[in-house]
Structure 1
Amino acid sequence: MLRILCLSWALALALAYPLGHGDSKFNHTGSNWHHMGSHPSSSDPELGQRCGEEGFDAITLDENGAMLFFQGDLVWKGFHQAAEPINASWPEIQGPIDAALRIHHLDHPDIHDNVYLFQGQRLWAYTNGKLKPNYPRQIEDEFKRVPRDLDAAVECHSKECADETLLFFKGSTILAYDLKTKQVKQRNWPAVANCSAAVRWQERYYCFQGVRFLRFDPVTGHVPPNYPRDARDYFMRCPGRGHGHEARRNATLQAILDPCSGYPFRAFSSDDAGRIYAFREGHYFRVDSARDGWHAWPLSHTWKELEGEVDAAFSWENKLYLIQGSQVSIYLAEQGYRRVEGYPRPVQEELGVSGADATFTCPHSKDLYVIQDNHLHHVDLTQSPRRPDSPILIPHDRVDSALCTNKGLFLFYGADVYHYTDVAQLCAAKAPAPTQNVTTTFLKCPMAPKSTGVHGGPKRPPH
């Protein structure tokens, strides 16, 4: 059966729905927003402002996806740029500003990717870095019933809120402004009060309270456990600090937290919404976030019950399957990754296989492929019970992980990646595809890392 599927796969892809994994761009030309790499010297004159206790006045993404940190009359654009005066980019404004937000609204091109800066009773709107006509304006003229002297502002996208909404913060007052109806509703969220800055990043919402920050649900105001946290360990580069700051003393940890280190990824997964996740040693990266940049997060940041290693992953019908050893957990992607009741369960019971080196599904397909050593198994996810077809040999003795997107099929081993047009090409191959470097050809990192082991990375331990 698998051989028949392999022979017919190329035709099926040609006739299939046009692969809605978004434009899962592997060309990372945006800001590489992660704090690993060289840290500023303790004599850096900007350290007192960037790494002090007072935090930032406002934070937002710009129209190109670069993170903007405002403080006083200065702005930092991402992690790697030096501070510059606010009026160097926005000459109409003398700092400080009170709040900032970017509106990302495809249905309304007149405001799509506009950046709004608030100061006192006025606001400025910029598109492509240029001040729009008839600005600055009174805040009240643009957003009825929204007060002056705001503390923070952030947009809630329609896929996370019922409607396209702007959230405005002033002390303990939180207002939700509906962009369509122009209606304002007050929220009673005590845990999210007194935000000095707010930002949406990778579909998560953050309230900064000085140098501390918390993550919150933009609909309910719920704050997960273990918040607030120190922003200097996550959102900026400061000497002796960082998300896992021991990385400065531990080469292995540094390699794990740096997406461009060449350290192997244990699993990849993509879903129909265009999200691509890379898993490595209890952490994950969002690979599709070229505009928003890179950052390593612990698994529990998105999948709150999850700890340890993810050995394999795949997505099907808006559900994400995460395999850890002999167990599999299923999370509903449409509900903020809520784990399905009754999981984890044994992989053998769920999928009919004893384990996996790698798993993958292709866009909008019911076909799951499981790689064990040098064998490829096919499982029809619509069948009950699920049972694999007879395996077929592939020209790889071992792989760490696999990923199938609208750009083809990728098999990963160490710091190497092998690209196939589709499953049929892999099945027909007598030898591995040409070796490419994961960091330079797949992740578009600046340069290939030095080899750290077999195939450019530490060999993955057997399951």
Structure 2
Amino acid sequence: MFSAGQTGDTVYTYSHDEKPAVKQRQWAGLGTCTAAARWKERYYCFNGNNFTRFDPVTGQVLSPQPLDIRDYFVRCPGRGHAHGVRQNATLMSIMDRCSNRSFEAFSSDDNSRTYAFRGGVYFRLDSRKDGWHPWRLNHNWRNLDGVVDAAFTYKNRMYFIQGSQIIVYLTDQIYIPVAGYPKTIQEEWELPTVTAVDAAFTCPHSSNLYLIRGNKLTLVDLNTRKCSGEDQTIIHVMLDAAMCNSHGLYLFYGSSFFHYKNVEELLSSKVAPSPGSIASHFLDC
């Protein structure tokens, strides 16, 4: 848990998870904060009706200019952070989770948060009570933009695959880019014949990474970072995304998903299970 207080130019941060619990920092570039808050790995400095996002370690201001609380935190008629994009029907359709547009990637992390990626935007669900929230990719992962082909987490790291490139972020108080990336798929996992994937997933408490290309499933051991065994064939020829969590394995295509208990059931299946609706099952539409 994080909170902060300010006296003059000096900022005091409080953490219930670290020792010492109180730390003194200088955030000269941030200016005066009448209040500060953390929400979904974002840190906010409030001053009057305005606020700015900032890096809690360096104090670097991440908002290009101060933003109005009424456009983001308070529902006011005629206002809202999506107001400026309402003229762009395509962008509005992308940011509307219930539009039945397909998703390029799904992922679930160790804290049971679910992410859905579509057209340079991601949707995040922490709990059903809190609901889904759409954001631009670079709001959470600095310098990440464009289409995400696959995403998964392993040992407090979040991996993104875009074409043949892999980008990795540490999942700490904020998402921090790991040095040395991007790398190619071939460099990261010694897979000379793999240049792109349709989907990728890991399952809880496992070092196995599964890469899907067409109807082929490739197993990679993330501890050794090498391919393990021969490619195996699955009954699905075309997929957009895949995700494995405590409820099982989900494969996504278009506006539908297919549920399996585990990878073994997928590999042994001769007929696909009945499809479900992504919008109604996952997105509360």
TM-score bracket for the superposition, by shorter chain length: 0.7 to 0.9
Q: Equivalent residue for 1:400?
A: 240
Q: What letter corresponds to residue 210 of structure 1 in structure 2?
A: G
Instruction: Please report the RMSD computed on the Cα atoms of aligned residues, expressed in angstroms.
Output: 2.8
Q: Equivalent residue for 2:92?
A: 254
- Please report the TM-score for the alignment, with normalisation by the length of structure 2: 0.85
Measure, in 1, the Cα distance between the counterparts of 2:205 and 2:43: 29
Larger Rg: 1
**Matches for 1:161-200 after TM superposition, within 5 Å:** 166-169=3-6, 174-176=11-13, 187-200=25-38
Contact kept, 8 Å, 1:270 with 1:314, in 2: the verdict is yes
Picking from 274, 280, 283, the partner of 1:434 is 274
Measure, in 2, the Cα distance between the counterparts of 1:220 and 1:243: 26
Q: Equivalent residue for 1:234?
A: 72
**Matches for 1:283-432 after TM superposition, within 5 Å:** 283-334=121-172, 336-351=174-189, 352=191, 353-384=194-225, 386-387=226-227, 389-432=229-272
- Please report the TM-score for the alignment, with normalisation by the length of structure 1: 0.55
Q: Equivalent residue for 1:277?
A: 115
Q: How much identity, in percent, do the aligned residues show?
A: 49
Q: Equivalent residue for 1:109?
A: none
Measure, in 2, the Cα distance between the counterparts of 1:289 and 1:169: 31
Per-residue CA deviation, residues 270-290 of structure 1 (Å, 9 max, x unaligned), is: 222333222111111212343
Say which structure is richer in strand. Answer: 2
Contact kept, 8 Å, 1:400 with 1:413, in 2: the verdict is yes
Distance 1:185 1:333, change over 3 A: closer
RCO higher in structure (CA 8 A, sep ≥6): 1
Measure, in 1, the Cα distance between the counterparts of 2:147 and 2:241: 13
Contact kept, 8 Å, 1:202 with 1:289, in 2: the verdict is no
Measure, in 1, the Cα distance between the counterparts of 2:279 and 2:48: 36
Contact kept, 8 Å, 1:215 with 1:227, in 2: the verdict is no
Contact kept, 8 Å, 1:285 with 1:296, in 2: the verdict is yes
Distance 1:380 1:289, change over 3 A: same
Contact kept, 8 Å, 1:246 with 1:253, in 2: the verdict is no
Measure, in 1, the Cα distance between the counterparts of 2:150 and 2:280: 23
Distance 1:201 1:379, change over 3 A: same
Q: Equivalent residue for 2:54?
A: 216
Contact kept, 8 Å, 1:309 with 1:324, in 2: the verdict is yes
Shift of 1:177: 5.5
Measure, in 1, the Cα distance between the counterparts of 2:23 and 2:186: 49
Contact kept, 8 Å, 1:377 with 1:392, in 2: the verdict is yes
Q: Equivalent residue for 1:44?
A: none
Measure, in 1, the Cα distance between the counterparts of 2:26 and 2:205: 40
**Matches for 1:6-155 after TM superposition, within 5 Å:** none
Contact kept, 8 Å, 2:54 with 2:63, in 1: the verdict is no
Q: What letter corresponds to residue 264 of structure 2 in structure 1?
A: A
Measure, in 2, the Cα distance between the counterparts of 1:232 and 1:299: 23
Q: What letter corresponds to residue 224 of structure 2 in structure 1?
A: Q
More divergent stretch after superposition (360-369 vs 284-293): 284-293
Contact kept, 8 Å, 2:11 with 2:24, in 1: the verdict is yes
How many residue pairs get aligned? The number is: 281
Measure, in 2, the Cα distance between the counterparts of 1:435 and 1:187: 53
Distance 1:236 1:256, change over 3 A: farther
Per-residue CA deviation, residues 378-410 of structure 1 (Å, 9 max, x unaligned), is: 1222235x2363222222221111110011111
Distance 1:248 1:225, change over 3 A: closer
Measure, in 1, the Cα distance between the counterparts of 2:184 and 2:25: 42
Measure, in 1, the Cα distance between the counterparts of 2:12 and 2:245: 40
Per-residue CA deviation, residues 356-378 of structure 1 (Å, 9 max, x unaligned), is: 10000001211111111222221
- Secondary structure, aligned partner of 1:235: coil
Instruction: Find out whether 1:206 has 2:47 as its counterpart.
Output: no
Q: What letter corresponds to residue 398 of structure 1 in structure 2?
A: M
- Secondary structure, aligned partner of 2:132: coil
Q: Equivalent residue for 1:133?
A: none
Shift of 1:206: 1.1
Shift of 1:168: 3.0
Measure, in 2, the Cα distance between the counterparts of 1:178 and 1:270: 26
Q: What letter corresponds to residue 211 of structure 2 in structure 1?
A: V
Q: Equivalent residue for 1:454?
A: none
- Secondary structure, aligned partner of 2:101: coil
Q: Which runs of 5+ in 2 are unaligned?
A: none
Shift of 1:173: 5.9
Shift of 1:203: 2.7
